[in-house]
Amino acid sequence: MTATTDGSTGATLPPRAAAASDTTLITPEAAGVQEAAARAARRATDFLLATQDTEGWWKGDLETNVTMDAEDLLLRQFLGILDEHTAQAAATFIRGEQRPDGTWATFHGGPGELSATVEAYVALRLAGDAPDAPHMAKASAWIRERGGIAAARVFTRIWLALFGWWKWEDLPELPPELIYFPTWFPLNIYNFGCWARQTIVPLTIVSAKRPVRPAPFALDELHTDPANPNPPQPLAPVASWDGLFQRLDKVVRGYRKVAVRRLRRAAMNSAARWIIERQENDGCWGGIQPPAVYSVIALHLLGYDLEHPVLREGLASLDRFAVWREDGARMIEACQSPVWDTCLATIALVDAGLPVDHPQLVRAADWMLGEEIVRPGDWAVRRPQLPPGGWAFEFHNDNYPDIDDTAEVALALRRVRHHDPERVDHAIARAVRWNLGMQSRNGGWGAFDVDNTSPFPNRLPFCDFGEVIDPPSADVTAHVVEMLAAEGLAHDPRTRRGIDWLLAEQEPDGSWFGRWGVNYIYGTGSVVPALTAAGLPGSHPAIRRAVVWLESVQNDDGGWGEDLRSYKHVKEWSGRGASTASQTAWALMALLAAGEKDSKAVERGVQWLAGTQREDGSWDEPYFTGTGFPWDFSINYHLYRQVFPLTALGRYLHGDPFERKLLARPRKTSPQAEGD
């Protein structure tokens, strides 16, 4: 039986708990914490205001791992455009990320990872590092001990196959005819998450063409047995899903030998049209780096020269992913996050007490309003009758607005006193309507698509690079529920279904799994504020369980942290790790929403934030607290360390934004009635 919002089944939401009384006695010790929090919030506000772009947006660096940098060099080598300056700048960054044991990790403090180490090693060879140099010899020895290139992921071996360092016939087949699979057919391209879809379509062309460019050097030192560099891969049992799909791959390989040439050529041309139709105005694809890289390669293989407008703009967009550092190092961002950063910064500043009509907030609102997406994208394949209205994550990504950004932008816009309130109302109404239309059958929300839950894509031998589907998650669903509550829709049946889904998803220990942030702290920090915003009292059993869990995982220093190894379902890592500013803030946001402002846990958490703040009002956070694919692809959002601590401090000082009526403005139009 599914739990409902008051812990019973089918009952009406109870009235929201009253705010704490202003007559509450404040002890001298608490007064000291209040003063420290106020000072930290002022400094953090000044720091954040100073980092806003003149156009109104915020954007922090988005740091991932060195595979982005290595693959950028491999792409340029493949296209024949790798220059010495770029190679040396990338090599400086890659060398700086090498661990003492010679390896490269995929997140700060993480273990060495084989594929990342292989790719980093090859990139440094391209930059001129000698294989017998101490740092290179240490890396190659570690690679051989872990099985060599043969044990690396498929995507790494694809990059090596481009130069003859691996055999194409020893890679899983990916036929371009996939583009013709209808949407009802298993493994059609819309069964994949949008990030995987954008990558797989161009790779079908690469897989069909099997190009090989002359390798500038051999990689014998990365094989366990150079005489047998491509050992056969072991087969899983026939009765298993993995075994079934491995044998299916053998059938597809056989098809390659008998494929009708005209059909294959037509499929590649259809895939090329699909790719070109999805190129953004600035030349990128979906605002993320990997699809752009593979799209450029695929189109080049079909005869598009590097001066063709599509490729010229595509390559120019890749240059915009580069972050040049003071030491001359060049880091490649996998993506850029201005919409996400701007809405979170706006929420933080208002919750910290900045006047709602402050000119910089109005400028941020103007910029966000200008970024609204008002045309259909790939999401319309599943929802053809749903009118558009939402926001993406990036500067340019009209094909893939996401549900999470749309919810948070609406929450941010509702906090600002804009000079054109009717424009804001209409934009938010479209956002609400679109988000409600993107609800999955089970009541939750995914990030980009509806009911993107097929179990088959993750089973393909080709898809070993991380999560390739987009199922509903607790954090995205929570943000949508919070937004709907802000719009007066807490009692709407669709909101209630989302709340019921969240309650059913709570872990036995009281936490929630965080899909797009690390991890149980992020999930819990997202869900509890959403549930209380929607009317659940702090005494609700689910919220009490969450409070108990958060208190149980607080670090001795007063902060909270969680290592990415919690995604490996290793229980001792759940809610455990070095304290970070962003994760401490998430825990505090949940505890404050649950009515725990006067608790010792909150006091210690606020003291930790105030005590670790730098003089300039910022926080340092080398740890990765964001997620692309759980465990497989981790992100350090450099603005997380600023916006979330400020939000938590603001709510500690000024109370919940719902209680302060920041989000209680009457709606002029309903999401059902809004038609423009």
* Torsion sign across C-alpha atoms 47, 48, 51, 54: negative
Alpha helices in 487-633 (DSSP H): 493-505, 520-533, 541-552, 581-593, 600-612
Q: How many CB atoms lie within 10 A of CB 421?
A: 12
* Torsion sign across C-alpha atoms 136, 137, 142, 147: positive
- The pair of structure tokens assigned to 253 is 């390989």
User: How far apart, in whole angstroms, are the C-alpha atoms of residue 33 and residue 611?
Assistant: 10
Are the CB atoms for 289 and 334 separated by under 8 Å?
Answer: yes
Q: For residue 564, give the nearest of 105, 37, 33, 110 by alpha carbon.
A: 110
Length in residues, the chain: 676
Alpha helices in 415-540 (DSSP H): 421-437, 474-486, 493-505, 520-533
Q: Which amino acid is at 324?
A: W
Q: Which of 404, 425, 563, 656 is catalytic?
A: 404
Rg (CA), the chain: 25
- The pair of structure tokens assigned to 439 is 């609800």
- The pair of structure tokens assigned to 211 is 């190009």
User: How far apart, in whole angstroms, are the C-alpha atoms of residue 619 and residue 601?
Assistant: 20
Q: Is 404 a known active-site residue?
A: yes
User: How far apart, in whole angstroms, are the C-alpha atoms of residue 240 and residue 246?
Assistant: 10
Element (H, E) at 93: helix 84-96
SS (H, E, C) 233-253: CCCCCCCCHHHHHHHHHHHHH
Q: Which residues, 6 or more positions from 372, have their beta carbon under 8 angstroms from its beta carbon?
A: 389, 390, 391, 427, 430, 431
Give Cα 40 distance to the centre of its chain. Answer: 28
| Cα 210-216-220 angle, rounded to 5 deg | 85
Q: Which residues are catalytic?
A: 404
